Amino acid sequence: MKRSIELLKQNNELRVIEEELDIYLEIPHLAYAEVKKEGGGKALLFTNAVDKKSQKKFSEPVAMNLFGSYKRCELLFGRTIESVADEITKLLHMKPPSTMMGKFSMLGELFSLKNIFPKKLSGSGACQEVKYLDDTIDLYKLPVLTTWEGDGGPFITMGQVYTQSLDGSMVNLGMYRLQVYDKNHLGMHWQIHKDSSHFFDQYQKAGKKMPVSVAIGGDPLYTWCATAPLPYGVNELLMYGLIKKKSAKLVKSLTNPLYIPQDADYVIEGWVDPNEMRIEGPFGDHTGYYTLREPYPVLEVSAITMKKNPIFLATVVGKPPLEDKYMGWATGKIFFPLLKTTAPDLLDYHMPENCGFHNLIIAKMQPLYKGHAKQFMHAFWGAGQMSFVKHAIFLDEKAPSLENYEAVTTYILDRFTPKSLFITEGILDALDHSSPEALVGGKLGIDATSANRVEAPELLGDEELLARVKSVVPDAKELHQFMRRTKNPVTVISIAKTRNAKKYFDALLELSNHLRVVVFVDEAKNDIFNPYMLLWRVTNNIDALRDIFISGLMVGVDATTKNMLDDFTREWPDDVECTPSVVASLKAKGVWDLDENIYQKFQL
């Protein structure tokens, strides 16, 4: 980790915070503000972390926002992201050579691949210089952060979780949040669809305890590899070898059979009893909402080891933009060639960070026949982690750059009709809160590959349209029309909800000459002139089977908070928000320098 910190420092990508700051809210709040700055701000190194509650001072610094810019991603990768994607493409298209020179060239390429495989070392590693066993085990010796006031406790947020199958034939590296319950127990938030959960099922059926080791720090690329969407059974550390051109060097954990990187800053070892579950959460997650309290497996810690002078790595999650914006950018670029093996006519795709990645994908394809886009939707919804995507929009090869949101939105709205919609049901991420039941819900696809003939509405100004809307929907409070120059303007209406939104939509049908796409949001906590955060709210809050209404040329979208008016019986979580007194304290200490306009824009 120290090499990476020095690399960032040399490239003017590091901000050192020497002020004494608390691991409870203060450090994560400041990191949350930093990543909201233009370009992701700087990486942060907190050199004076304390736990005011227990009056403890930590000797190790806390590092955050390491991946929080495009530049820092490539610095930590040691190469351009495009070069990694090109290499994967080349491997996937490798063909038997026809000439002797070609054979020698291929031999060289194949020989270099030997470095991608992790290498197990004998003896101990730097990660085991300091050992805590038995009664000396204490997770509170680590500067584990509590990010949000509503969190269930401190959480490890950048842990590399190493597991293996029951027979030891497969290993997995994943990243899951880990709640600190007490000095020797961690909550294992591996969701039901994740590889570690599949392994856990094997141990549970066999009635055996499952070994788990959690590494923190070391080469930051280990942490990125933990997020890599590789197929089931493929060791994520192979990506480390492919990118770095050298093997990840591993040593055996002290108290279980798992191998971990020898240069990790910390290792937490233990065993998960398949018969023990404990309530985990709540936790303010990357959706921008708190995820709810639910039972998850528990890791009983059998050892904690670390370097003599470690650095604790953490991240902060909440409302976008976040550090995962940049990590997700790298992931999308690198794994595009693998996705094309499932969908060969795919030309490009983009997952906007303000939609939590899984909530929306925009894809460009080469349509070859009628219904091709719908076939693609099914392919996406059946391809690994892409199966968690809630909303997918497909465009043809003539569409503008997918990251030019203004141009892409115009392109979609000028060819959209209600018949472009495709609504189905499928699995959802465990963090999704909008569906009537957990883990499964509505999926929405939009086929914008065809240039449909579209009839534009009769436009009115916002004030006049609001007056007419209020005459039929008295609960309406504000209204704003986006993309008025397109054939399908988007009208956002904030309401003080007293009825199911379908009744509001039905009441608006008499104004259908002036409306095309109508989006309902709650009056509270929404700025109807802020498209970035509106898109965040809408993609989080809708279940397509329940919340999309169609009548003629009009489409309604209910992005309000769901309750008994909607026959919604699950608990609806709160937004993640900064604690005002903590922000005031950071300002008083002279370390909070976020522009107030940015604070308001991203609804901190």
Question: What is the DSSP-derived secondary structure letter of residue 162?
Answer: E
Nearest residue to 220 via CA among 245, 244, 194:
244
**Cα separation of 154 and 95, whole Å?**
51
Q: What is the DSSP track for 96-149?
A: --SSHHHHHHHHHHHHHGGGGS-EEPSS--GGGSEEEEGGG--GGGS---B-ST
Question: What is the DSSP-derived secondary structure letter of residue 393?
Answer: E
User: CB-based burial of residue 579 (10 Å sphere; 0-12 exposed, 13-18 middle, 19+ buried)?
Assistant: middle
How far, in Å, are 273, 337, 580 from residue 532 at the CA level?
A: 43, 29, 23
How far, in Å, are 199, 293, 404, 434, 520 from residue 428 at the CA level?
A: 20, 18, 27, 10, 23
**Cα separation of 424 and 443, whole Å?**
5
Nearest residue to 46 via CA among 317, 320, 314:
314
* Helix, strand, coil share (%) of the chain residues, nearest 5: 35, 25, 40
3-state SS, one letter per residue, for 291-340: ECCEEEEEEEEEEEEECCCCCEEECCCCCCCCHHHHHHHHHHHHHHHHHH
3-state SS, one letter per residue, for 252-299: ECCCCCCEEECCCCEEEEEEEEEEEEEEECCEECCCCEEECCEEEEEE
Are the beta carbons of 218 and 1 closer than 8 angstroms?
A: yes
Which residues face 479 on adjacent strands?
Answer: 493
- Give 238's Cβ-side CA count (13 Å radius): 13
End-to-end CA distance of the chain: 30
Q: Which two tokens stand for residue 32?
A: 């949350």
Q: In what order do the strands lie in the sheet with 14-17?
A: 14-17, 43-46, 62-64, 312-314
Pairing assessment for the beta strands 421-427 and 391-395 based on DSSP bridges: unpaired
Q: What is the DSSP track for 484-504?
A: TTSSS-EEEEEE---S-HHHH
List active site positions.
Answer: 285
Whether a cis peptide bond, with omega within 30° of 0, leads into 61 is: no
